[in-house]
Amino acid sequence: MGPMSKHAQHNRKDLIENVSCQFMLFTGYNVKHLMSVPRFTSWFVLLLLLTSTSVQSHAQGLDKTPSLRLATRQFQSPDGAPYLEVQAEFLASSVTWLAEGDSLYRAAVKWTAIAYDSTGAVAGFVKSTARTGFLPQKGDFVDVARMALAPGPHVLELEVEDVGDPDRLHLEYETVIEVSSPAALDISDLFVVQGIAAASVPAGPLTRSGKDILPLLDRRVSAEAGRIPFYCELYGTESIFGAGGAFLVVAGFQDPGEVGSWIEGTKRFFRMTAAPVLPFLEALPPPPPGPHELVVQIMTPDQELLVANSVALRCVSEAAQDAAVAAGALAPFVMLHQDRDSLLALIESLIPIADAGERRSIEHVLQGADLRQLRSFLEQFWTVRSPDQPAEAWRTYRTEVAIADREYGACPNREGHETDMGWILLRYGRPNTVVQRHNGTAYYPYEIWHYHKAGQFNNRRFLFYTPQVVGECFELLHSDHPRELRNADWLDILKTRELGHSVVDSRMNQLGNRDTYSREEPEDLFFNPR
């Protein structure tokens, strides 16, 4: 879905007239140029120079992988089937730019997105090439792709190739998404808009309801912006209110966790006429600096709330941000770390919960980083995950690392958090059920961990074993979690009958009278943990 449109590659006037067709938007340092483009309205949210959510290697040199900001949004097709919109913003500093004369530049990336369902089967696939055309300035550029997906959990994998230098390492990234079942009355995901233009001809992925709408992928907006535009779609109002029936949409900003408490001056009412699908493109005055939720509600004419949706963002004062950047200010919790090597070791303990780009940075880029670079990475890492309390989140995680080191530190040449058990503990927390069969069985010693919820997936299991028979260094052999190791032969591998020896009996691990099953014990315990 969403094929790439033809790109203008002529003079600057043609570039300006076709900027939306190219899925390109200047951001960051190039905002001023963007605001001079006549086809776009004056509705703009000024972007800040630091990204809040990103899929990147954190590398600035072109010897590293490309970097991007990523967002996934769920919408519905006209027949009511859900589809996923993948929005990607490729960072100018991380791709190869080719010069055309002395004043024009262009860049391109090939990117592929694959979605897997909970069984590991391919559920959706899209491949695209994002090109900038010839530009007077290097800038970040946006591309959008769509894929139809059935409701349920999925793993989304991305691969990005720098067309200007195909021999560079490709960016590989994965994330877990949940596709919701459409409701009779529903609101799509919301996103803040950074630019609006007349629709491209032919229409491209940015085209919605007669306009090209460029999404803002950074979750930070400027407190000095005149208005904050946003977009979503309303579904099923005609079936609830009748054809042409009247209803209300309420939009505004709320503080996180304060449901129904609107920030003064931001709440707006919109009178709407029912239709099967209604695009909703509006703008609100900015809230005060801080974390907020942009909320959209569908109400009856009597103001009875029927359905709502929201998106989290942070409003930041540009003056305060500029001052912090100029001063090189870092949060106190990262300034506590004074030794470069010990801080690097602590950052390496983040690998179990880091995304693919962050892991690559930790394992390669940061190995040669100085103390300030390590501090900056640590601050960014926890600010993205816990904008309000990054220091507390960091302290909580370090406590869990200490627990993993204490409980799973028996493996030679590895800390406890570096083991498979430590990895799973840090990534998903404490299991709800643990089955231990260390002795007294015809199998290698094994454990089964069962989680009611592991990340975004429900009812997931992890089976660890130790082929050394003696010892406590357990390895992950099999899991039904889409992001973790799957091994179809796990039961055969677990068997030890052919070894010609028995495992020492242990009353703790003996089956009781009630534990008699038609299947083999590990299989039964895996699918029926208790």
Q: So what's the pLDDT on residue 289?
A: 87
The reply to whether 308 and 358 lie within a common domain is no
Return the residue matching tokens 């052999």: 477
pTM of the model: 0.58
Tell me, yes or no, whether 42 lies in a domain.
yes
The reply to whether 249 and 351 lie within a common domain is no
pLDDT-derived band at 308 (thresholds 50, 70, 90) equals very high
Q: Which of 290, 318, 346 is the last residue of a domain?
A: 318
Query: Which carries the bigger pLDDT value, residue 157 or residue 331?
Result: 157
Q: Which of 318, 343, 376 is the last residue of a domain?
A: 318
Q: So what's the pLDDT on residue 241?
A: 96
The reply to whether 187 and 47 lie within a common domain is yes
Q: So what's the pLDDT on residue 386?
A: 87
Is 309 within 8 Å of 110 (Cβ atoms)? no
- Six token digits for residue 77: 């097709």
- The secondary structure of residue 181, as a DSSP letter, is P
The reply to whether 214 and 290 lie within a common domain is yes
- Six token digits for residue 423: 């990895």
- Six token digits for residue 235: 């579904």
Residues contacting residue 368 through CB under 8 Å, at least 6 positions apart? none
The reply to whether 301 and 344 lie within a common domain is no
- Rounded CA-CA distance 522/529 in Å is 10
- Rounded CA-CA distance 401/6 in Å is 51
SS3 content of the chain, % helix, strand, coil (to 5): 25, 35, 45
The reply to whether 513 and 365 lie within a common domain is no
By CB neighbour count within 10 A (0-12 exposed, 13-18 middle, 19+ buried), where does 477 fall?
buried
pLDDT-derived band at 182 (thresholds 50, 70, 90) equals very high
Task: Out of 218-222, 392-396, 506-510, pick the least confident.
Answer: 506-510
Name the residue among 163, 3, 169, 186 with its Cα closest to residue 81.
186
What is the number of alpha carbons within 13 Å of residue 3 lying toward its C-beta? 4
Residue 391 domain boundaries? 330-407
pLDDT value at 233 more than 90: yes
For residue 272, which amino acid is it? Answer: M
Please tell me which of 25-34, 112-121, 135-144, 181-190 the model is most confident about, judged by mean pLDDT.
181-190
Largest CA distance in the chain: 83
Question: Backbone dihedral region of 474: left (phi > 0), alpha (psi from -120 to 50 degrees) or beta?
Answer: beta
Q: Which of 272, 296, 318 is the last residue of a domain?
A: 318
Q: Taking residues 419-440, what's their average pLDDT?
A: 90
Tell me, yes or no, whether 3 lies in a domain.
no
Q: So what's the pLDDT on residue 10?
A: 27
For residue 222, the cross-strand partners are 316
Q: Taking residues 424-439, what's their average pLDDT?
A: 90
The reply to whether 307 and 364 lie within a common domain is no
The reply to whether 254 and 345 lie within a common domain is no
pLDDT-derived band at 298 (thresholds 50, 70, 90) equals very high
The reply to whether 359 and 308 lie within a common domain is no
Q: So what's the pLDDT on residue 293?
A: 93
Task: Out of 229-243, 292-306, 324-338, 445-459, pick the least confident.
Answer: 324-338
For the chain, how many structural domains are there in total?
Answer: 3
Q: How many helices and strands, by DSSP H and E, does the chain display? A: 12, 24
Please tell me which of 32-41, 96-105, 139-148 the model is most confident about, judged by mean pLDDT.
139-148
Strand order in the sheet with 433-437: 433-437, 446-454, 457-465, 475-479
Tell me, yes or no, whether 397 lies in a domain.
yes
Q: Taking residues 265-273, what's their average pLDDT?
A: 96
Q: So what's the pLDDT on residue 414?
A: 83
Tell me, yes or no, whether 29 lies in a domain.
yes
Q: So what's the pLDDT on residue 45?
A: 31
- Rounded CA-CA distance 206/200 in Å is 8
pLDDT value at 287 more than 70: yes
pLDDT value at 15 more than 70: no
The reply to whether 43 and 121 lie within a common domain is yes
Residues contacting residue 412 through CB under 8 Å, at least 6 positions apart? 473
Percent of the chain with pLDDT over 70: 80
Is 180 within 8 Å of 82 (Cβ atoms)? yes
Tell me, yes or no, whether 59 lies in a domain.
yes
Query: Which carries the bigger pLDDT value, residue 487 or residue 108?
Result: 108
By CB neighbour count within 10 A (0-12 exposed, 13-18 middle, 19+ buried), where does 373 fall?
middle
Tell me, yes or no, whether 325 lies in a domain.
no
For residue 417, which amino acid is it? Answer: H
pLDDT value at 75 more than 50: yes
Tell me, yes or no, whether 2 lies in a domain.
no
Tell me, yes or no, whether 415 lies in a domain.
no
The reply to whether 494 and 402 lie within a common domain is no
- Six token digits for residue 34: 């963007």
Question: Backbone dihedral region of 101: left (phi > 0), alpha (psi from -120 to 50 degrees) or beta?
Answer: left
Name the residue among 366, 46, 5 with its Cα closest to residue 212.
5
- Rounded CA-CA distance 411/353 in Å is 21
The reply to whether 217 and 363 lie within a common domain is no
61: helix, coil or strand? Answer: coil
- Rounded CA-CA distance 394/392 in Å is 5
